[in-house]
């Protein structure tokens, strides 16, 4: 089974990288860009076919390591 994890900076936390990229896009003429937020994308391969167990495990991984919930949100999808 595969887990796709998205880690993003919380809405109320400043994202200096996103702000810099937004500025660059504006300079390039993409004036319609209102906001840019940069996050992380992780692909995990899991040696299990038990969906419920995988869900529980990936959640624990996110809470403990993959995201810092003080400043980041996470969501994930299970495939296969």
Partner 1 sequence: MKFAVLVFPGSNCDIDCFKAVEAIGEQVEYVWHTTTDLSGFDAILVPGGFSYGDYLRCGAISRFAPVMNEVKKAADEGKFVLGICNGFQILTEAGLLPGALIRNNGLKFRCHQTPLEVVNSATAFTNQYSQGEVISIPIAHGEGNYYCDDETLAKLQANNQIVFRYAGDTNPNGSVGNIAGVSNERGNVVGMMPHPERAMDQLFGSEDGKRMFTSILNAWREQHGAAVNG
**What is the binding site for partner 1 (CB under 8 A)?**
9, 12-14, 16-17, 20, 65-66, 68, 70-71
- Closer residue to partner 1 in complex, CB, 16/52: 16
- Closer residue to partner 1 in complex, CB, 38/51: 38
Residues 6+ apart with CB under 8 A from 58: 3, 5, 44, 46, 76, 78
The pair of structure tokens assigned to 13 is: 């936390």
CB of 76 to partner 1, least distance (A): 16
CB of 51 to partner 1, least distance (A): 26
CB of 46 to partner 1, least distance (A): 18
């Amino acid at each position: 089974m595969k887990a796709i994890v998205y880690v993003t900076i919380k809405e109320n936390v400043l994202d200096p990288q996103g702000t810099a990229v937004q500025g660059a896009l504006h300079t390039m003429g993409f004036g319609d860009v209102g906001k840019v937020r940069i996050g992380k994308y992780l692909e995990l391969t899991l040696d299990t076919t038990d969906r419920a167990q995988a869900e529980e495990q990936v959640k624990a991984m996110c809470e403990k390591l993959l995201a810092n919930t003080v400043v980041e949100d996470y969501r994930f999808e299970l495939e296969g």
